[in-house]
Chains A and B, each alone.
Chain A
């Protein structure tokens, strides 16, 4: 089967190109957000006279925003399922203070190994331990919130509003409202870099190897996909699409590798970036390719239908809420290990950053729509904006106003383009044919069912 000769509609190829940035049904929509991100980067690159894409600055953006992006991963799942989580900042703050106190307790009992390698291994062990403790706290806190949302049926908005107060208070009770220093060996999680090793070049070896591995993974993935498509006799994109796609991605990776590898001596790709990357891969897989992921989208799209399709709604909601708290705790560790201090003010306003990232990234307020990749891009839009405005010495009051307007305009544009005739601006390129008006109509269940619907046990999904 030679694809190049097969007559393939042009839109098919373009669609495939769009799909590589997130896949699934909302592919090209993310393509649009990605376009916006690129545009913003270019604008700031010009305005700042090249400072935006300076290696040091790029590394800094990743280090400073990894925690928000980690939160966005959990938040998009919560929002897709039709909920919201307002407590993530407080949960992170509570988890931080508890983790640090426990860690200090362990530290005082730590006996360094005699062989002198103690300093390194202690840092590694303690870092892993810190993450482990934070995750455990996240599980417990998340189980608490998940219980109220999923099994009692209190809307997540209320449960997490309560959680916001409860865990903020718990943070202050545990930490006596005083800031605590964080042991410096934890700094590696939030502030560390991929270590360099000999022979030394003017670039970071570790980062280059990581870049190469990523490029190989991209190529291998595409080859495997095409082989599988051939085996299954599925409709394949023309070969040029695959090649363009792989070349594009490899170029982007090469550029990123160049940026991260050529920063100040001693810097390279940051560790929080690696943690983030792993989480993005894992959660993209979970949301796109697993039964659990499907169930999350099903609940957010139409929980009645999901329930009647055998989806265990309670279990899925519980998982989603718990997962969010775990990621909040993890984001907290990444954050404090960079600032090396934790206190009663940790994590204030985090929930809003994460929620903004998710909505700029194309999620629907009513649930059922949104992707991990989209939210990451949305988070990066905010991050680059923040960073660029700072580089331009715009004062923080103005930065806030601009960020607010960007959120409003991003979602507003989408709403407007939907109203003026069917699908969103971007999706319009994608879907030929069909009754577009059907999407405009609010899906009011026919009246005969309202009695029945209200007669059912109260939904665990609030109508936000």
Chain B
């Protein structure tokens, strides 16, 4: 990949202001034709804003600076225009309609018409074109399949097929692999390479540095709305540490806090023979005879591929918020307890931080202080009539703001304004406020930047050191190996292995995550 290839895109001196804040300050980005260009930066660095400027979501005139695309200065006033110019953006949150078929989604708003048919849709043509497009992205599914019945990895590919249909020249992907498992991610990266060989340029925003390292030809790093640098990968010497240094402006020495297991006490929480059925398909067991325990001050990792039933297991324990016909026993301090609903769970000191903070963790209409206290209002309200003490609420939230270093001027700010990492801190604060004895964290660092991740690891550690038991569900093996004291592996609803972290390595974990080991087969 020569640096002498012509630039397909040049964004010069882009400045984008929101009332009271400069989101982008004189940002420059040059993307050469046919390359895969990664954009890195912590959350809130301005990556998504920059891409919205490029794709016309923020219309020309609402920002300063020039966009030169294919040698011409362009002034997009909307996404339709940028699409017409061959720029397609695929958002992190996919824009597919679950109830429609693959074909219908690909051609949505762009339906092929019958000749002379006065607007009636030529489904036959659409279908055969869909088959073709799907083949190009490596999918062999029937294009009549509904979107909701294919996995998120395939949905991502359908999005790309949709873009290909529009004759895309410049494909922008915002965190394309954030929700994908290893093999789907790999497939997607291979596809990007394939598109590259056909001359399609890609811009990829990602937090997964190993992927960037593997695939990108050039990397532009943003920090606090400024361009820090553009690294040409072909020059060599680029590794994860190099990228992290650029992103955070410092060398992150210890991404994981040190722990030696000295704070670990006796077993206080135990689950025995836990079996959960799928809420709609009763014969499907989502968790199968799972038994595990947690000690005081211990971080227990749950490793498993997406769909292994980790979330379902956790949620079924957390007040039966998932599944039906749950059987098994839960012991707290050696006493069997009944948890019929989330209220019960919270009363027993169990907290669950969902993997999906926007859909399940937060009410995005709330401000920070309201969110922080929302899971245990009884702590700040009178017993008699349940009137809330607004001063206590404010004080409590402000304490968490300081101790968790939530980047916000005041706790009166709406949570929807915070970056992912800061939202996650608010969710953590919400559950820390319930004084949990057992804190279940489901993918607590998904979609948040390296700096915030490290802070969250430290928070986890601090909680464990204060005597709480932690269950950490994660798809990132380095994270589990770095933070947990002990790891259970889960495969198809079954706990397949249990290892102290000292004996675990990525290979052994991956083996147990993808197969049932002999010792556990009853």
Closest to B344 in A: A310
Given A232-B391, A301-B366, CB of A309 within 8 Å of CB of B18: no
Q: Please, how many angstroms separate the alpha-carbon atoms of A379 and B356 in the complex?
A: 39
A234 within 8 A of B: yes
Residues of B with C-beta under 8 A to A109: none
Residues of A with C-beta under 8 A to B151: 448
User: A455, B279: Cβ atoms under 8 Å?
Assistant: yes
Q: Please, how many angstroms separate the alpha-carbon atoms of A312 and B346 in the complex?
A: 12
Distance in angstroms from B176 CB to nearest chain A CB is: 13
B321 within 8 A of A: yes
User: B362, A305: Cβ atoms under 8 Å?
Assistant: yes
Interface residues of A (CB under 8 A from B): 25, 228-229, 232, 234-235, 285, 289-292, 294, 297-298, 301-302, 304-312, 368-369, 421-422, 428, 431-439, 441, 443-457
Q: Return 21 A-B CB contacts under 8 Å, by A number.
A: A25-B414, A234-B394, A297-B366, A302-B362, A309-B342, A310-B345, A369-B365, A422-B18, A422-B19, A431-B413, A433-B20, A433-B21, A434-B18, A434-B413, A434-B417, A435-B23, A435-B416, A436-B18, A447-B98, A448-B179, A453-B359
Segment of B80-88, B377-385, B510-518 in the binding face: B377-385
Closest to A440 in B: B57
Distance in angstroms from B79 CB to nearest chain A CB is: 12
B1 within 8 A of A: no
Distance in angstroms from B466 CB to nearest chain A CB is: 22
B-side interface size class? 35 or more
Closest to B360 in A: A304
Q: Please, how many angstroms separate the alpha-carbon atoms of A235 and B354 in the complex?
A: 33
Given A290-B388, A291-B377, CB of A446 within 8 Å of CB of B359: yes
Distance in angstroms from A36 CB to nearest chain B CB is: 23
Q: Which of A294, A311, A431 contacts B388 (CB 8 A)?
A: A294
Q: Please, how many angstroms separate the alpha-carbon atoms of A369 and B388 in the complex?
A: 19
Q: Please, how many angstroms separate the alpha-carbon atoms of A301 and B381 in the complex?
A: 21
Q: Which of B49, B93, B374 contacts A446 (CB 8 A)?
A: B93
Residues of B with C-beta under 8 A to A235: 410
User: B21, A434: Cβ atoms under 8 Å?
Assistant: yes
Q: B143-182 CB contact bits vs A (8 Å, 1 = yes)?
A: 0000110011001000000000000000000000001000
Q: Which of B62, B359, B375, B394 contacts A309 (CB 8 A)?
A: B375
Q: Please, how many angstroms separate the alpha-carbon atoms of A447 and B146 in the complex?
A: 13
Q: Please, how many angstroms separate the alpha-carbon atoms of A201 and B244 in the complex?
A: 81
User: B378, A294: Cβ atoms under 8 Å?
Assistant: no
Closest to B57 in A: A437
User: A421, B62: Cβ atoms under 8 Å?
Assistant: yes
Distance in angstroms from A278 CB to nearest chain B CB is: 16
Q: Which of A368, A428, A435, A438 contacts B363 (CB 8 A)?
A: A368
Residues of A with C-beta under 8 A to B234: none
Q: Which of A422, A443, A448, A450 contacts B306 (CB 8 A)?
A: A448
| New A-B pairs, 15, CB < 8 Å, besides A229-B391, A302-B364, A445-B93 | A228-B391, A290-B386, A291-B381, A292-B386, A302-B363, A307-B342, A431-B19, A433-B417, A435-B23, A436-B417, A437-B49, A446-B358, A447-B147, A447-B152, A454-B280
Distance in angstroms from A294 CB to nearest chain B CB is: 6
Residues of A with C-beta under 8 A to B387: 285, 289-290
User: A305, B52: Cβ atoms under 8 Å?
Assistant: no
User: B152, A291: Cβ atoms under 8 Å?
Assistant: no
Closest to A429 in B: B19
Closest to B427 in A: A305
Residues of A with C-beta under 8 A to B341: 310, 312
